[in-house]
Amino acid sequence: LDKTSQFVNETKSIRLIEAMKDNLDRLITPDKLMETIDKIRPHKAPGPDGLSPLYYKTFKEELTLILVIHYFIMTERKLPQSWLQATITMIHKENTDETNIKNYRPISLLNVDYKLFTNILAGKI
């Protein structure tokens, strides 16, 4: 068994206590979203929507309420279609032969609003 499968098998029977459930169910607050925006690195590549982390940092005040409402609406419905999309590109591994395809690795670029949301959820877990 690989390490991932072993971890999943060992942890799938763990039950959440009520306090943990309450924390996961708690709505995302504007303060938490602003704190998360502050933590993202501004010069990372944007996802398919083209909106970079720097955009979110620059317009944090204007976007926070919109995103909090967006995240709240999602709790009642399914995930936005844009969160199911990624731009996949290849990145050359440093100090290797650029003409050899083995020296490239794929990277999936995801939208920043999705990254912010998952970052907040990961913090709750």
* Average pLDDT value for residue range 40-55: 94
* Average pLDDT value for residue range 102-110: 95
5 or 103, higher pLDDT: 103
Domain that holds residue 81: 28-124
pTM of the model: 0.74
**Has residue 68 been placed in a domain?**
yes
Task: Please give the pLDDT value at position 1.
Answer: 63
**Has residue 43 been placed in a domain?**
yes
As a whole number, the mean pLDDT across the chain is 88
Q: How many domains does the chain have?
A: 1
**Has residue 18 been placed in a domain?**
no
21 or 42, higher pLDDT: 42
The string of DSSP codes covering the chain is --HHHHHHHHHTTPPPPHHHHHHHHSPPPHHHHHHHHHHS-TTSPP-TT---HHHHHHTHHHHHHHHHHHHHHHHHSPPPGGGG--EEEEEEPTTS-TT-GGGEEEEEE--HHHHHHHHHHHHH-
Residue 12 banded pLDDT, cuts 50, 70, 90: low
**Has residue 89 been placed in a domain?**
yes
